[in-house]
Amino acid sequence: MYIGDILQRSRNVVAAILFLTFAALFFTSLTMKPLESDSGLKGIYPADIHSQESRRKAEAEFYRERDAQLTPKGALERYSACALILSLGVLFLPKLTALTESIRSRRYRQISLYVLIPASIVAGEVLVTSVNLDRMMYPTWQDNIVVNWFATALAAVTVAIVLLPFFIYSLTQQSVVRGSSSSRVARVFSLVLLSISIPLFLVALALGQAQMLLLSSLLAIFVLPGTDYFAKKGVG
């Protein structure tokens, strides 16, 4: 049996264990309510809706009561999402970074990731906020949800702009030759982004923040080819 076959089977086993972990956590969360009781939250409202001080006091009271009523459901959902992301990453990452990858496959991957990275930022925030609104995790009088979504969209656009030079470079290069000036620039850029995405990944995993975990994973996969690890050896 070839070592490659052993490694592939090991990846499949790890991915299967992570997927079973996801399923166990997620289905356990389905048996729970997000809050022990929401009756106390419904009675909390600013004495003067037009007074910022009154609104702040009511919000502080709301969040204290909400935190006191929280069940493990939210944490189970977050960690189950993290397990699912890790399962898919373990299963597909070796294929995405294969040395024998064709130019067409590499370009298709880079285009897909360039779209997915900012889209995941916006979609994740909208999904989480929408679910939490339905579960009464925010005060009913809070009116800055759309503003937060707009700020998230601006953050996604900023990320896309920052990644644009590397994205163009990755599409225009037929191959990366180790030691060339262009590959050195791409390598430095890639290593900087990796130095950001790896700590984000670890923090997200520890805290069960699936949005951050997904973003850091996509970012790492996006810039990994630019590190020259899979580059062709230059002559001389």
- Kindly report, residue by residue over 59-106, the tens digit of the pLDDT: 899 999 999 999 999 999 999 999 999 998 888 765 544 444 566 777
The string of pLDDT tens digits covering residues 32-43 is 999 998 888 888
**Tokens representing 140?**
């009913």
- Alpha-carbon gap, residue 18 to 24, rounded angstroms: 10
Task: Please give the Cα distance from 46 to 25 (Å, whole number).
Answer: 37
CA dist., res. 115 & res. 23, Å (int) = 28
Percent of residues, the chain, with pLDDT higher than 90: 37
Amino acid 90: pLDDT: 85
Cα distances (angstroms) measured from residue 38 to each of 30, 62, 195: 18, 10, 42
pLDDT interval class at 223 (50, 70, 90): confident
Coil, strand or helix at 31: coil
The pLDDT of residue 143 is above 50: yes
User: What is the distance between the alpha carbons of residues 96 and 102, in angstroms, rounded to a whole number?
Assistant: 11
Q: How confident is the model at residue 7 (pLDDT cuts 50, 70, 90)?
A: low
In this prediction, residue 133 carries a pLDDT of: 85
What's the rounded Cα separation, in Å, for the pair 50 and 62? 17
Least confident stretch, 162-171, 174-183, 193-202: 174-183
**Interior/surface letters 14-52, b for 16+ CB within 10 angstroms, e for the rest:** ebeebbebbeebbeebeeeebbeeeeebeebebeeeeee
81 contacts 49 by C-beta, under 8 angstroms:
no
Quote the crossing angle between the two packed helices 181-207 and 73-96, to the nearest 10°.
Answer: 150
Give the model's confidence band at 226: pLDDT under 50 very low, under 70 low, under 90 confident, else very high.
low
- For residues 47-58, give the mean pLDDT: 87
The length of the chain is 236
> Who has greater pLDDT, 22 or 3?
22
Q: How high is the pLDDT of residue 185?
A: 73
